[in-house]
Chains A and B, each alone.
Chain A
Amino acid sequence: MNRDGSLLVVGGGLAGLRAVESARAGGWGGRITLAGAEAIEPYDRPPLSKGHLDASVIAREVVPFRTSRQLVDDLDVDVLLGSTAVSLDTAERVVGFEHGREVAFDRLVIATGASPIELPGQADIDGVFGLRTVQDADRIREGLSRATHVVVIGAGFIGSEVASAARKRGLVTTILDSEPVPMTRSVGGEVGSVLLELHRRAGTAVRLGVTVSGFEERDGRVSAVLLDDATRIEADLVVVGIGARPATRWLESSGIRLHERDRGIVCGADLQTSAPGIWAAGDIVHTPDAALDGVLTRTEHWTNAAESGAQAGRNATCDGPGEPFRSIPYFWSDWYGHRIQFVGSHHADAVGVVGDPGPGAFVLYRRGQRVVGALSIDRGGDIMKLRRRILRGGHWDEAMDFARMRYAERPPATV
């Protein structure tokens, strides 16, 4: 058991927490420090765009996975909350934080996540919000309780969940997206029509291929969203969900290799960065995807944060070379009482849709003769059986037969 040295984990989300937990579970006996920018211990983010916005759920404080006391007592971790990292010196092996604090380390795991991309001027207008933290979610919840017209910019999963919460409250809701087909990057273009059907049925207006040119405000509060074709869409609450960017600005001068496209951290298969002894985990990481011939991919899912965090913590504290990170992507999203689940990869030669667009539908993703990914709506009992087929490189025809059989056995009216 290693009792020497210190492990520093920068990033107080799920990935950071799992890194700490797995380091201790693996027998690391050295010092551990967990530093997070938020004032609260690591907590669960998926509910922020789901139950947290629901009027029928009584607003309650977010309960962290573990309190500071538990982190100290159960895992012997020094916890630094409200600590935003501002610099990394890979030679001196020290991380600098706001207000001048410095923490030295022998081994480091970086898990600072991603920040919502903002529109110009967004921060200056009351009533226009991004969604990442519990503070953001509290503001949106409060906004929903007073709003009549909600505009969501970005037809991705978080934006769609916010729209869903707004419709549940009976508010006039519009989703705007600059792409002609939404969610091409996350699930592939073909799936767009299947999912758009859920918005249509729920009475959410969706306007695609439009460009937001600015906001109209009245007394410092947003009153409308303006499009570049001079359209004005009334809005007293605007939520911007146009993606997130890796929170790596503090690493720009560190020499750690960042991806040219989005400045995420480029890691090896073992999650080690270009600097020896420094690993990374969660939304921030690009790793070679074995299923895609080693193409660098970055994933922003709950399961990816949990599993890569645990792997980075293990690799950072083991003796000898770490193990490669392997995970089958999985995510879920709840829209208008329907559950969308996705497993595997959407990088496909072809896509097969089973069923009518809307609840009960399956979408399968094919590469060569293999099934590599699957999306379903309201089919929790089936998606993990498809996952098993994806995991073992299952044959496309057999997977499509399975989906058709399940669709026939349980047509949409019954799911």
Chain B
Amino acid sequence: MRIMVDRDRCEGLGMCEAMAHDYFELDDDDTMVVLQENPPESERSHVHAAVQACPVRALTIQG
């Protein structure tokens, strides 16, 4: 499983960090950073919640 970010869409709203802060964080420039691009399969529902929560649909899971 790989986390994909559409940088043209991402507005740094931070819902991904709210749902799964082990995988997403907004840095000091309010830019979203993916902390772990390839989460273990056991974390799928967690990461999926972050994908679902994104108000601008910038996140997808590949694989």
Contact = CB atoms under 8 A, between A and B. Distances in A.
A383 B28 contact: no
B18 interface: yes
Interface string A298-313: 0000110011001000
A303 B55 CA distance: 8
B15 A330 contact: yes
A310 B29 CA distance: 32
A381 B21 contact: no
Contacts of B12: 380
A44 interface: yes
Contact of A381 (B15, B27, B52, B55): B27
A245 to B, nearest CB: 24
Q: Is the interface of B mostly helix, strand, loop or mixed?
A: loop
A147 to B, nearest CB: 27
A302 B55 contact: yes
B30 interface: yes
Interface residues of A, number: 22
A332 B13 contact: yes
Contacts of B29: 381
A387 interface: yes
Contacts of A379: 30
B21 A341 contact: no
Nearest to B28: A381
Contacts of B18: 328, 330, 343, 384, 387
A330 B16 CA distance: 12
The interface residues of chain A, by DSSP majority, are classed as helix
A101 interface: no
A384 B53 CA distance: 14
B53 A381 contact: no
Nearest to B24: A384
Interface string A367-395: 00000000000111101100110000000
A411 interface: no
B55 A380 contact: no
Interface in B16-59: 17-18, 21, 25-30, 52-53, 55, 57
A200 B14 CA distance: 28
Contacts of A46: 55
Contact of A383 (B14, B21, B27): B14
A321 B13 CA distance: 34
A384 B55 contact: no
B21 to A, nearest CB: 7
Interface of B: 12-15, 17-18, 21, 25-30, 52-53, 55, 57
Given A44-B55, A65-B57, A380-B30, 14 more contacts: A46-B55, A306-B52, A306-B53, A330-B15, A330-B18, A332-B13, A341-B14, A379-B30, A381-B14, A381-B25, A381-B28, A384-B14, A384-B18, A387-B18
